[in-house]
């Protein structure tokens, strides 16, 4: 039977995913913090799956919003279709470093995310450090003209460098979009082009991460001596509903957030997100220090 409270929690997690996946403020970090206050009543194993796979809903927003830039067609010229094909090759080059490292460190990352003795420190430090970096880089680039103003003008070397920065996103609290946008800006890419390329790289990265998680969970569930460790008996349908609802909400919110961000970066810097990250990181440290000291016991 579907629990209305768990359904509402799934909606809330979908909203947070849709907002934080694209803004450079760390979706994983916010998910960990949200689960601290509004914990999903799932098994540990399904919660790991849920927090990764709801990203699929968010990622669908990218090809829909950037259809003209990402999808070749008969109405486009041969040169335009060639540019789109070349862009996809650049995206693949960009995701290779993170894909390799992600597969190798998948179990370690899951352990860190679900171990509260360590996770809050990692999340808080990453939030603050990257917040400071955003402010410093924006001030450094304030009066400089970007070397590249279009994703089509990125070289394969640029894409590989940005992909190397994306590997930092494996650290909880760092932000995948934050890492790639910072990497792009440090290599001379405009905010708009860096943001777009970050979105495009998210497609294979998130599809791969979700696919890997689904295959791993499915194999372990089907071969387990006690499958109720993964999904309680009689709860398969409700669990699937929670997952699908989270994905759907994540998609709808992502459409709005991506449109907002692309409009925002044309007129403003990322410094505001840097300030937000620093403030949130400080609050995270304060909360967990008080909790560990017994104030919230």
pTM, two decimal places? 0.89
| 296, part of any domain | no
Answer whether residue 117 shows pLDDT above 90: no
Tens of pLDDT along 195-210?
999 999 999 988 988 8
Per-residue confidence band for 106, with pLDDT thresholds at 50, 70 and 90: low
DSSP structure string for 182-214: HHHHHTTB-HHHHHHHHHHHHHHHHHHHHHHHH
Burial class (CB in 10 A: 0-12, 13-18, 19+), 214: middle
Q: How far apart are CA 32 and CA 294, in angstroms?
A: 20
Answer whether residue 102 shows pLDDT above 70: no
Q: What pLDDT score was predicted for residue 118?
A: 58
> Do 201 and 47 contact (CB within 8 A), yes or no?
no
| 297, part of any domain | no
**Domain range enclosing 217:** 4-290
| 246, part of any domain | yes
Query: How many angstroms separate the most distant Cα atoms in the chain?
Result: 66
Q: What pLDDT score was predicted for residue 249?
A: 97
| 71, part of any domain | yes
Average model confidence (pLDDT) for the chain? 89
* HSE-CB of 204 using CA atoms within 13 angstroms: 20
More confident residue, 149 or 32: 149
Three-state secondary-structure class, residue 148: strand
Q: What pLDDT score was predicted for residue 171?
A: 79
| 110, part of any domain | yes
Answer whether residue 294 shows pLDDT above 70: yes
| 200, part of any domain | yes
- Domain count for the chain: 1
Residue showing tokens 């601290």: 36
| 295, part of any domain | no
Tens of pLDDT along 248-266?
999 999 999 999 999 999 8
Answer whether residue 119 shows pLDDT above 80: no
Per-residue confidence band for 148, with pLDDT thresholds at 50, 70 and 90: very high
Specify which of 14-28, 119-133, 283-297 reaches the highest per-range mean pLDDT: 14-28
| 217, part of any domain | yes
Q: How far apart are CA 181 and CA 194, in angstroms?
A: 5
């Amino acid at each position: 039977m579907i629990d209305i409270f768990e359904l509402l929690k799934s909606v809330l997690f979908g909203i947070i995913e849709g907002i934080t996946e694209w803004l450079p403020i760390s979706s994983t970090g916010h998910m960990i913090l949200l689960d601290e206050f509004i914990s999903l009543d799932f098994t540990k194993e399904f919660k790991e799956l849920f927090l990764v796979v709801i990203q699929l809903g968010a990622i669908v927003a990218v090809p829909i919003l950037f259809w003209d830039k990402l999808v070749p067609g008969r109405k486009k010229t041969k040169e335009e279709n060639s540019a789109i094909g070349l862009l996809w090759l650049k995206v693949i080059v960009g995701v290779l470093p993170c894909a390799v490292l992600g597969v190798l460190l998948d179990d370690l990352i899951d352990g860190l995310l679900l171990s509260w003795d360590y996770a809050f420190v990692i999340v808080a430090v990453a939030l603050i450090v990257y917040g400071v970096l955003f402010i410093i880089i924006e001030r450094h680039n304030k009066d400089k003209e970007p070397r590249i103003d279009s994703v089509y003008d990125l070289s394969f070397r640029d894409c590989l460098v940005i992909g190397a920065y994306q590997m930092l996103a494996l650290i909880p609290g760092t932000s995948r979009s934050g890492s790639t946008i910072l990497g792009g800006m440090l290599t001379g890419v405009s905010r708009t082009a860096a943001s777009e390329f970050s979105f495009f790289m998210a497609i294979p990265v998130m599809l791969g991460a979700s696919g890997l998680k689904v295959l791993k969970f499915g194999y372990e569930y089907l071969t387990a001596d006690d499958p109720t460790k993964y999904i309680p008996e009689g709860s398969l349908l409700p669990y699937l509903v929670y997952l699908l609802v989270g994905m759907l909400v994540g998609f709808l919110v992502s459409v709005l957030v991506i449109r907002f961000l692309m409009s925002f970066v044309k007129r403003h810097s990322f410094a505001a997100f840097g300030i937000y990250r620093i403030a949130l990181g400080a609050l995270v440290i304060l909360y967990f220090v008080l909790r560990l000291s017994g104030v919230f016991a």
